A and B are shown apart, each in its own frame.
Chain A
Amino acid sequence: MTDSLLSVEDLHTQFDTEDGTVQAVDGVSFDVEAGETVCLVGESGSGKTVACESITKLIPRPPGKITGGSVNFDGEDLTELSGKALRAYRGGRIGHVFQNPQGALDPVYTVGDQLIEAIQLHRDVPKSAARERAVELLDRVGIGDVSERIDDYPHQFSGGMKQRVVIAMALACDPDLLIADEPTTALDVTIQAQVLRLLDDLQDERGMAMLFVTHDLGVVAEIADRVVVMYAGKVMETGDVYQVFENPSHPYTRALLDCLPGRGRALETIGGTLPDPTGPPDGCRFHPRCPHAVSECETGDQPDFEDVGGEHDVSCVLHDETHDLPNAMEADDD
């Protein structure tokens, strides 16, 4: 699809470590259309953060390196850009919100100064105009008493308030795409609900697209239009949020949904751990932990995507025409 706002294709990002090369992102493709919310889901170590940091080349280099694929943003391949051209996108047309608001703010500058810096970096406006804009932004994200609080330092804000400041900063230049990496994981549930609502409202207001990284399927159900499930550097399943939740077709997605706490007393567990990133298994990356694995899962590459209806794609041999679905999976498959 050429009209996507962001189109990540066959992205490969690797890190050189003492134990060998880690393919953190190994051939990942997904699109984000203008105005939609795409969620990247997976356990820690599945490569979701590296995938979204690769978009604006935020990965530290060395040891990290993008070794293949392309990231097309509005017709331009960001992997080809460097230096100044790239900075126009970072924080300009693409905003970032990170997991830990504490680490995203400089403790020795007031939040106002940091916002003004972000605005002036991308726009040629006098300081007074930038300050006005900063007040407007802070007010929009729900910081009360802005005229007083704008000159406060980050430590004078609570965690939820800090995350609001970081969101204001990411919005400073009216981005077309907001990349939010676990923005609510460090927050309490009540504050999480506030921040999710805020992001949703802002998105409606500005028609901005959002790439949201999280490990919490509850949050995904709350905000996503489409879902990309990652495991060990590969995409396992992608589809519309309703399709993925109501007809999870990859055993990994199913397992993730089953281990959500609070759905009755009996708790399903996945068992096992993510494979060693320096030497991932052949075949489907999930086969050592998969309850439905067959011999074909153990050889070759990650299976090709099979379309299981609509734009719902699954990388699992069981959905290949030559296989009968095992009973356990078929039962739920409408």
Chain B
Amino acid sequence: MTENARIGGEGGERDAVLAVRNLEKHYPVRSGLLRRVTGHVKAVDGVSFDVREGETVGLVGESGCGKSTTATSLLRLEEPTGGDVYFDGEDITEYDEDAQKEFRRRAQMVFQDPNSAFDPRMTVGESVAEPLGIHGLRDQDRQRKIVKDILERVGLSASDADRYPHEFSGGQKQRIALARALILNPDLLVADEPVSALDVSVQAEVLSLLDDLQQELGLSMLLISHDLGVVRQVCDRVGVMYLGELVEMAPMEELFANPQHPYTEALLASIPDPDPRQRGGAIELTGDVPDPSNPPSGCSFHPRCPRVVPPGDYDFPEGSFREVLDFRLAVESDDIDDDLSTAADVREAYDIPAALPDGDADAVLSAAIEDVLAGDTESAAERLSDAFSTVCEREAPGLAETDAGHPAACHLHGVASQHAPPELTSDD
């Protein structure tokens, strides 16, 4: 209960409707004849954040980063394997059946695909009214009245209650889904990619509706999306997730203006700019999201990070270590092209300059290239890993306060990071 007391005790967190602490959801991987558990996919691995009253918090990241699993686990649609979730200061994992039902009323969810969210044989009115019946309001006339009210509120007409889902377009169905989520007057709405199945023009409508409703009803909202443009439209604060972990959390404008994690930077730069004169600004991330059942050591972003921290023993100018590390990783996985016959070819293939600025570093690199050309990749790998190992692959950075005033999990922001406790309430 100390954790609980802390949440009530600290001024900044008092009005948190939802407080997530070190949430974990690990799925077992089974293999072999006996289906033994041989490993775990850490879909969500120690995520902590708050959603305050009337606030919209966004979670962004690529597919597979665990943002949807975070949503379903914190609502207990899936049982989390670790961590705590406090709703109004109470631990939801300790709820009994009645409290659980009340929680289900107060926290609602909207899903990505509105086409599969409705029973095609029920009228829209029946679908929207269903939660009322479950929570004890069975008077048909009153149900009907409430349904008509809420349908009008989401921009449909009361007579739509007697029509069937297939008669509506995708955007309209998403409005109906929203009506159904709001009919019980919840305090928290979790929206998982609510507009990604919709056209841009319809996205804009649904987003502004969400924004209006949220302000009108004083809802707290957790919005999950892979699209930073969408998040920017409606969120007050944004958390960026990568491979099951939160790597940065900041007020929306600050995240866009002053991203502190290289991954956030790359995500922001990947949004296509709707100005044809600003082409090619994207920071290109090499490769895909790694396999979550076998995540990289240290910072899980280091194999793709354009700003990976160079080893302290050598002098690498800003941003020039990535190429050398790419070469090292290629040597270690024995993935060097056989066609490369001279040292210059090898350097060119990996975008490494003819001579590194640091003479000592260049000597190691040259020796390694010689080894590779002589066919001895093993000793080349050894040479390279001895000299060029980075803190990013050895230690996992914790989420720590940065100079910008909001937390990010990156070694670029000081070495003491792992000792600082995750402090997730940035001032606004």
- A residues near B (Cβ < 8 Å) are 43-44, 144-145, 158-161, 188-194, 196-197, 215-222, 224, 241-242, 245, 255-257, 259-263, 265, 267-271, 273
Contact = CB atoms under 8 A, between A and B. Distances in A.
Nearest to A274: B169
Nearest to B272: A218
A218 B273 contact: yes
A260 B288 contact: no
Nearest to B65: A188
B233 A256 contact: no
23 contacts: A43-B201, A189-B272, A190-B267, A190-B270, A193-B270, A193-B282, A194-B284, A215-B200, A217-B200, A218-B229, A220-B274, A220-B276, A221-B273, A245-B274, A245-B276, A259-B203, A261-B230, A261-B233, A262-B232, A262-B233, A267-B207, A267-B208, A270-B201
Contacts of B204: 259, 261, 267-270
Given A221-B274, A256-B200, A189 B279 contact: no
Contact of B201 (A144, A159, A256): A256
Q: How large is the interface on B (under 10, 10 to 19, 20 to 34, 35 or more residues)?
A: 35 or more
B233 A267 contact: yes
Contacts of B202: 43
A219 B200 contact: no
Interface in B217-270: 226-230, 232-233, 266-267, 269-270
Contacts, number: 120
A256 B201 CA distance: 7
Contact of B199 (A43, A159, A218): A43
Interface of B: 62-63, 169, 171, 199-205, 207-208, 211, 226-230, 232-233, 266-267, 269-280, 282, 284-285, 288-289, 335
A269 B270 CA distance: 24
B276 A158 contact: no
B199 A215 contact: yes
B229 A260 contact: yes
A269 B9 CA distance: 44
Nearest to B171: A273
B267 A189 contact: yes
A261 B207 contact: yes
In the complex, which of the residues B201, B226, B280, B282 has the most CB atoms of chain A within 10 Å of its own CB atom? Answer: B201
B229 A261 contact: yes
B30 to A, nearest CB: 18
A268 B233 CA distance: 11
B288 A160 contact: yes
A276 B89 CA distance: 51
Contacts of B273: 218, 221-222
A136 B5 CA distance: 62
A271 B270 CA distance: 29
B403 to A, nearest CB: 26
Contacts of A192: 270, 272
In the complex, which of the residues B204, B211, B271 has the most CB atoms of chain A within 10 Å of its own CB atom? Answer: B204
Nearest to B169: A273
B65 to A, nearest CB: 9
Given A159-B63, A188-B63, A197 B284 contact: yes
B272 A222 contact: yes
Return the 4 tightest CB-CB contacts between A and B, nearest first: A262-B229, A218-B272, A259-B204, A261-B229
B200 A221 contact: no
Nearest to A273: B169
Contacts of A197: 282, 284
B229 A194 contact: no
A152 to B, nearest CB: 14
A269 B272 CA distance: 20
Nearest to B256: A262
Contacts of B199: 43-44, 215
Given A144-B335, A190-B270, A158 B275 contact: no
Nearest to B229: A262
Contact of B227 (A144, A189, A196, A265): A189
A222 B228 CA distance: 17
Contacts of B289: 158
Given A190-B266, A194-B285, A197-B284, A217 B274 contact: yes
A261 B200 contact: yes
B165 to A, nearest CB: 16
A161 B288 contact: yes
Contacts of A160: 288
Contacts of A270: 201, 204-205
In the complex, which of the residues A190, A197, A222, A267 has the most CB atoms of chain B within 10 Å of its own CB atom? Answer: A190
Contacts of B207: 261, 267
Nearest to B279: A222
Contacts of B272: 189, 192-193, 196, 216, 218-219, 221-222
Contacts of A220: 274, 276
Contacts of A194: 284-285
Contacts of B203: 259, 261
Given A222-B276, A262-B271, 16 more contacts: A43-B201, A144-B335, A161-B288, A188-B62, A189-B226, A189-B267, A189-B271, A190-B266, A217-B200, A220-B276, A221-B275, A222-B272, A222-B279, A262-B230, A270-B205, A273-B171
A257 B204 CA distance: 11
Nearest to B204: A259
A219 B275 CA distance: 10
B21 to A, nearest CB: 28
Nearest to B172: A273
Contacts of A219: 272
B213 to A, nearest CB: 14
B123 to A, nearest CB: 21
Nearest to B275: A221
B335 A221 contact: no
B201 A218 contact: no
A83 B269 CA distance: 46
Nearest to B330: A144
Nearest to B288: A158
Contacts of B171: 273
Nearest to A186: B63
A189 B266 CA distance: 10
B275 A43 contact: no
Nearest to B63: A188
Contacts of A242: 276-277
A189 B276 contact: no
Contacts of B230: 261-262
Contact of B274 (A189, A193, A215, A260): A260
A256 B200 CA distance: 8
A216 B200 contact: yes
A261 B276 contact: no
A43 B200 contact: yes
